[in-house]
Amino acid sequence: MLYLNGRILPLAEGRISVEDRGFQLGDGVYEVIKIEDGRLLWVEDHLGRLNGSLDQTLLAGVLDGHPLAEILPELVRLSGLRRGTAYVQVTRGAAPREFGLPTHVQPTVLAYVQAHSFPSDADVRAGVAVHTVEDQRWARCDIKSTNLLPAVLAKHEARLAGAHEALYVSADGMVREGGSSNAFIVLDGTLRTHPANNRILNGITRCHVLDLARELGLPLLEQAVHVSDLPRASEVFIASTTRDVMPVVRIGGLGSGILTPGGGTPGEVTLSLVDAMRSLIAESLADPIPRPPATI
């Protein structure tokens, strides 16, 4: 089922203008929200980040009249979906193709839900491979923009190399994040991840991983790791809405061979966070009073 500019209709019946700025210019933002047991997970966190992206792209206030906190659960209910994702996209709307910002244009607001399979226990035990690529994106990766061509190309390169995910590395060798995930590295006994600045997207799952790491008393540092230090990493994992916490057991694309963190098996820190994340998700879905949002 699709919500489009105030109407709910079958997804196949949705239509937008050829001149929509999201289609022609990538002038829009989006969110992806996990659905488990027929409920949206951390929807308040996602809608909060969506509003932040809208503010940063000069689209503040365009969701007035679009109560997504009510619309999204209704889409889930109407679809009968138990497990999957909800996709939300907001663009500046349809206008003649010019780079200047148009005035008096109605934004395009759409949302739909779809089935999605998430990693199984066997998938987590097996872990995933990542492939390093040079980060050639724009400098506002903190905005969840629909401009995703760099990620499309990076993920294609990773798949051609037999990997599940791309791993962006800056020109000066700093590990940033995955193509659609955040990266975590256990180095010298400390869990490290790139700070939430303009060079990465501050993932909702990332925020909850950090909260859980603090609750577990794990040494934690929001500081980027240089790619030359990856051979010393005892554990590596990625985190995202559709993967939760996923161990990385192989890293390629380094020009110096293949790395196998932890000997190619998931490590103790990673698995402790896998378990903690599963407990948190179960708690969040079961509790009628939502847990406070993650620290974003």
Q: Are 105 and 92 in contact (CB under 8 A)?
A: yes
Nearest residue to 11 via CA among 67, 69, 75:
75
**Per-residue pLDDT band at 67 (split at 50, 70, 90):** very high
Structure confidence by residue, pLDDT tens digits, 192-245: 999 999 999 999 999 999 999 999 999 999 999 999 999 999 999 999 999 999
Angle 17-23-26 (CA atoms, 0-180°, nearest 5)?
Answer: 145
**276 and 221 within one domain:** yes
Q: Per residue in 73-113, pLDDT tens?
A: 999 999 999 999 999 999 999 999 999 999 999 999 999 99
Q: Among the three residues 96, 115, 134, which one is the final residue of a domain in this structure?
A: 115
Marked catalytic residue, from 46, 92, 144, 243: 144
279-288 residues labelled b (16+ CB within 10 A) or e (exposed): ebbeeebeee
Predicted confidence band at 288 (pLDDT cuts at 50, 70, 90)? low
Task: Answer yes or no: is pLDDT of 292 > 70.
Answer: no
Active site residue 34: no
Percent of the chain residues past pLDDT 90, beyond the cut: 95
Domain shared by 126 and 75, yes or no? no
- Kind of pairing between the strands at 128-134 and 244-252: parallel
Domain end call among 115, 149, 178: 115
Query: How many H helices and E strands in the chain?
Result: 7, 14
Question: How many structural domains are present in the chain?
Answer: 2
Q: What is the pLDDT of residue 28?
A: 98
CATH of the domain at 93: 3.30.470.10
Tokens of 110: 């759409």
The beta-carbon contacts of 210-218 under 8 Å, at least 24 apart in sequence, are 210/294, 210/295, 211/294, 211/295, 212/273, 212/276, 212/277, 212/280, 213/273, 215/276, 216/272, 216/273, 216/276, 218/191, 218/269, 218/272
Task: Find the range with the poorest average confidence among 54-63, 125-134, 261-270, 282-291.
Answer: 282-291
Using CA atoms, how far apart are residues 3 and 154, in angstroms rounded to an integer?
31
Closest Cα to residue 53, out of 42, 40, 62, 64? 62
Mean pLDDT for 249-254 is 96
- Please give the Cα distance from 279 to 285 (Å, whole number): 10
For position 255, what pLDDT does the model report?
80
Q: Which of 39, 35, 59, 46 is nearest to 88 (CA)?
A: 46
Q: Is the pLDDT of residue 293 over 70?
A: no
Q: Is residue 95 part of a domain?
A: yes
Q: Is the pTM of this model over 0.75?
A: yes
Tokens 């992806």 locate to 32
In the block, residue with structure tokens 């200047």: 100
Domain shared by 64 and 187, yes or no = no
Quickly tell me which residue has 């679009």 as its tokens. 66
End residue of a domain, out of 83, 115, 147: 115
Q: What is the CATH number of the domain that holds 148?
A: 3.20.10.10
Give domain status of residue 251, yes or no: yes
- Which residues form the domain of 182? 121-284
